[in-house]
Structure 1
Amino acid sequence: MSSTQSADLKAYMADNPGAVIEDVARERNVTPRAVIEAMPPTMVRIGAGSQFAAAMQDIAQWGEVTLIVHTVDAIFEFTGAIPAGEVGRGYFNLMQPKGSNKGLHGHLRHERCDAIAFVERPFMGKSSAFVAFINVDGGIMFKVFVGRDETRALRGDQLKRFQSLADSLASAKAA
């Protein structure tokens, strides 16, 4: 991306911090990572993808969250607790209690995670906070959103966990 394109993207994201990341990436022919990195520095912190397992283990203790997978063809949303997991046979395996196959479960290619972005921004008129797991191609593997309470406000306990995890795994994004 040229310096002009980068400056234009930063200006756009400063004016539109709640824009749908994947849509902006597609419209501007850049990666979702480039869009996240173009957001105002006060809204984004980025950590190493090598911390994938640590981040997922922490998130497994947050309670009900929303996990979103956004592709060009669909947006999948799961609301519930993220199960704990462990690395085995080349995957980070989300583990369900013995004998259960309900709720979220699966096998994640954790070694393709290149970065973990912690994003706090306005979205559709409300504050939002999410963790984006970014792959080696600059795409978003999935996002985990801090849950909301009965008034649709961010859950304070989860927001504290989110910020603590960001503090431990990420550094402030360079301007």
Structure 2
Amino acid sequence: MLSTDLADLRAYMADNPGAVIEDVARERKVTPHQVIEALPSPMVSMAGGDRFEIAMQDIAQWGELTLIVHTDDGIFEFTGAVPAGEVGRGYFNLMQPKGLHGHLRHTRCAAIAFVERPFMGKTSAFIAFVNVDGSIMFKVFVGRDETRALRADQLARFRQLAERIGASAVP
């Protein structure tokens, strides 16, 4: 991406921090990773993808939250507890017989983004697992309480995890 394009993307995201990341990426012909990095620096910090297993094991202790997979063909949402997992046969395997379960190609995770930003009139906090192609594998959103505010306990865990795995602000 040219520096003028990057500056333009940064300006756009500063004016529209709640824009749907995947839509901006498609419209501007950039990766979702580039869109996340273009958010104002106080809104995003990044850690290496090699911290995938640590992040997922921690998230498994947070209780009910929302996991989203957003593709060109649909948006899949799961609300509930993310199960613990373990690495085996080349995958990070979510160890639960019902509910959310499956096999994640954790070695394709290049970065883990911690994002706190406004979205649809409310504060939002999520972790985006970004693959080696710059796309988002999936996002894990901090849950909301009965008043639709972010759950304080999960937001604290979110921030602690970012610090623990060495997430740093994007320059």
Distance apart, 1:169 and its partner CA: 1.5
Q: For 1:7-86, what aligned pairs fall within 5 Å after superposition?
A: 7-86=7-86
Distance apart, 1:168 and its partner CA: 1.2
User: Which amino acid is the alignment partner of residue 142 of structure 2?
Assistant: V
User: Could you tell me how far apart the structure 2 residues matched to 1:131 and 1:170 are?
Assistant: 14
Pick the aligned partner of 1:107 from 62, 81, 103.
103
User: Which amino acid is the alignment partner of residue 117 of structure 2?
Assistant: R
- 1:151 paired residue number: 147
Deviation track 1:18-55 (CA, whole Å, cap 9, x = no partner) reads 00000000000000000000000000000000000000
User: Which amino acid is the alignment partner of residue 89 of structure 1?
Assistant: R
User: Could you tell me how far apart the structure 2 residues matched to 1:5 and 1:128 are?
Assistant: 27
- 1:126 paired residue number: 122
User: Could you tell me how far apart the structure 1 residues matched to 2:155 and 2:107 are?
Assistant: 27
Distance apart, 1:174 and its partner CA: 3.6
Distance apart, 1:170 and its partner CA: 3.3
Distance apart, 1:102 and its partner CA: 1.6
- Runs of at least 5 residues in structure 2 that lack an aligned partner in the other structure: none
CA RMSD of aligned residues (A): 0.7
Partner of 1:170: helix, strand, or coil?
coil
Partner of 2:167: helix, strand, or coil?
strand
Given that 1:41 and 1:172 are in contact with CA atoms closer than 8 Å, whether structure 2 keeps it comes out as no
Ranges of 4+ aligned residues in structure 1 off by more than 6 Å: none
User: Which amino acid is the alignment partner of residue 66 of structure 1?
Assistant: T
User: Which amino acid is the alignment partner of residue 43 of structure 1?
Assistant: M
Identical counterparts, % of pairs: 75
Given that 1:120 and 1:127 are in contact with CA atoms closer than 8 Å, whether structure 2 keeps it comes out as yes
Deviation track 1:129-155 (CA, whole Å, cap 9, x = no partner) reads 000000000000000000000010000
User: Could you tell me how far apart the structure 1 residues matched to 2:5 and 2:28 are?
Assistant: 9
**Aligned residue pair count:** 171
User: Could you tell me how far apart the structure 2 residues matched to 1:171 and 1:94 are?
Assistant: 24
Given that 1:45 and 1:170 are in contact with CA atoms closer than 8 Å, whether structure 2 keeps it comes out as no
Deviation track 1:65-98 (CA, whole Å, cap 9, x = no partner) reads 10000000000000000000000000000001xx
User: Could you tell me how far apart the structure 1 residues matched to 2:23 and 2:53 are?
Assistant: 28
TM-score between the two structures when normalised by the length of structure 1: 0.96
